[in-house]
């Protein structure tokens, strides 16, 4: 009797596991939130870097980040609106903390800005690649696929780190 009960329980548990869909890398809302926060951070941190007295190479790179991510952020906001998804209006605590460190830094921002941009870029590529592969929202999946391809084409990125050729 006990073995029959165990076998029935195991059979039920197994069928439930296989009946459930595999979880996507992110829900559509999670993807929009994370992508928007990352994009806003890259723009805002680039504005801070651009406003600090630095070499022209850093300023040019920061302007490229502002332009490129501004366009991507606008596309994401448009798609999110069409899909009835919410885009955060401001940075989350972690990104605000990084931005505050960059703003309050008295030393040249080159190293900290470069480190923050590399980390944000790596996170974004991972997020976008995962959603492009496993996401369930067709419009966002297409956006993620295009954005990763555009990023790699523009930067020579191999998804392992930034290779923008920036002189800083």
pTM of the model: 0.75
Query: Could you write out the DSSP letters of every residue in 52-66?
Result: SS--HHHHHHHHHHH
In angstroms, rounded to a whole number, what is the distance separating the alpha carbons of residues 117 and 38? 10
For the chain, list the domains and their CATH numbers. Answer: 25-155 (1.20.1260.10)
What is the pLDDT tens value at each position of the chain, 168 positions in all?
544 434 333 333 333 333 334 344 579 999 999 999 999 999 999 999 888 877 788 889 999 999 999 999 999 999 999 999 999 999 999 999 999 988 887 666 778 888 899 999 999 999 999 999 999 999 999 999 998 887 765 555 443 333 344 444
Query: How much is the pLDDT for 152?
Result: 66
């Amino acid at each position: 009797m006990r073995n029959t009960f165990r076998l029935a329980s195991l059979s039920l548990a197994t069928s439930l596991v296989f009946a459930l869909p595999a979880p996507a890398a992110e829900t559509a809302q999670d993807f929009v939130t994370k992508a928007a926060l990352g994009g806003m951070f890259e723009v805002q941190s680039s504005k801070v870097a651009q406003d600090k007295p630095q070499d022209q190479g850093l300023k040019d790179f920061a302007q490229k980040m502002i332009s490129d991510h501004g366009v991507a952020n606008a596309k994401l906001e448009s798609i999110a609106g069409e899909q009835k998804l919410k885009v955060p209006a401001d940075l989350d605590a972690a990104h605000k903390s990084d931005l505050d460190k960059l703003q309050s830094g008295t030393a040249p921002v080159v190293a900290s800005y470069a480190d923050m941009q590399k980390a944000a870029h790596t996170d974004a590529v991972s997020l976008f690649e995962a959603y492009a592969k496993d996401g369930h929202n067709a419009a966002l999946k297409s956006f993620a696929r295009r954005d990763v391809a555009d990023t790699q084409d523009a930067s020579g990125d191999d998804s392992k780190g930034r290779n923008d050729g920036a002189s800083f």
